[in-house]
Amino acid sequence: MNRITRILFSLFGVLAAWPAQAQNYDGINDPATGWDHLWNEVLIDITVIGVIFGIAAIYMMIRYRAKSPEDVGSAKPLSSARAWGWALIPAAIFMADDFFLSAKGWTLWNAYRQVPENALEIKATAQMYSWEFDYGNGVLADELLVPVGQPVVLRMTSMDVLHSFFLTEFRVKEDVMPGRITYLWFHPREPLETFVTCVEFCGTGHSVMATAVKVLPVDDYTAWMTEAKAEADAEAVADAAGTES
């Protein structure tokens, strides 16, 4: 027992020391880069644990095969001190890793929830099975167009059932529901054409509830917005005229 105990304990020691040496990152710029960074760290964490335990299992499964049907195992009962040691030390190591990951996760979560002050605010409304984006100046669009370089915050609600706004490229997602307003933000840094999908089951059209998301160069965005604003104003005028007549 002693040799194996020593080996295992030193492996746990390595495992415990590893996070301390892991690279710290400060000043997360936005959720997407923070996510990629933390994901890689967590992936290393779980791979190390998995490989250690996997190799240990394979080794013991082969090493301790019965030589004859009458053979019995020869593990001795643990002394009281060893039993406590084998409970408390691993528990402390697992807990250390848990708190380490909690701290990292919390830091990144703060980045997810703290919207930059200069963010462009857009209202998103979901319904079976489409999205609508309200720019707050009378412009309504069924596609999400945003300018490069400015953080975007979406204030979201639903007209009917649960939906969920998922933008893979920016690693953001939040449920959209009636009676509550939820939010998420992302920071588009380069021109991009992608799409938003619904990822909370919402009925027969769930898998086709998607719409384009376009990150435009600032000039293109301004041109689009000017045109859309003019159209919206003209419609408002026409509507007002229609109401009067």
Considering only residues 216 through 235, tell me which ones interact with other proteins, judged by CB under 8 A: none
Three-state SS at 158:
strand
127 vs 196: CA distance, rounded Å: 14
Site of tokens 């299992």: 57
Q: Could you tell me the two tokens for 69?
A: 């049907």
Phi and psi at 94, nearest 5°, equal -60, -40
| Contact residues for 205 (Cβ-Cβ < 8 A; gap 6+) | 128, 129
Q: How many other CB atoms are there within 10 angstroms of residue 54's CB atom?
A: 11
From residue 107 to residue 136, the character string flagging contacts with other proteins as x (rule: CB under 8 A) and all else as - is -xx-xxx-----------------------
φ/ψ of 10, rounded to 5, equals -70, -35
- Output 173 or 229, the one with its CB closest to other proteins: 173
Residue 68 or 245: the one with the smaller Cβ distance to other proteins is 68
CB of 80 or CB of 243, closer to other proteins: 80
Site size toward other proteins (CB under 8 A) is 81
C-alpha 97/C-alpha 120 separation (Å) is 38
User: x/- binding map, residues 29-48, to other proteins, per CB under 8 A?
Assistant: --x--xx--xx--xx-xx--
Does 54 interact with other proteins (rule: CB under 8 A)?
yes
Shortest Cβ distance from residue 150 to other proteins (Å)?
21
Q: Of 136, 138, 203, 217, which lies in the binding site for other proteins, with binding defined by CB under 8 A? A: 203
Q: How far is the CB of 233 from other proteins (least distance, A)?
A: 32
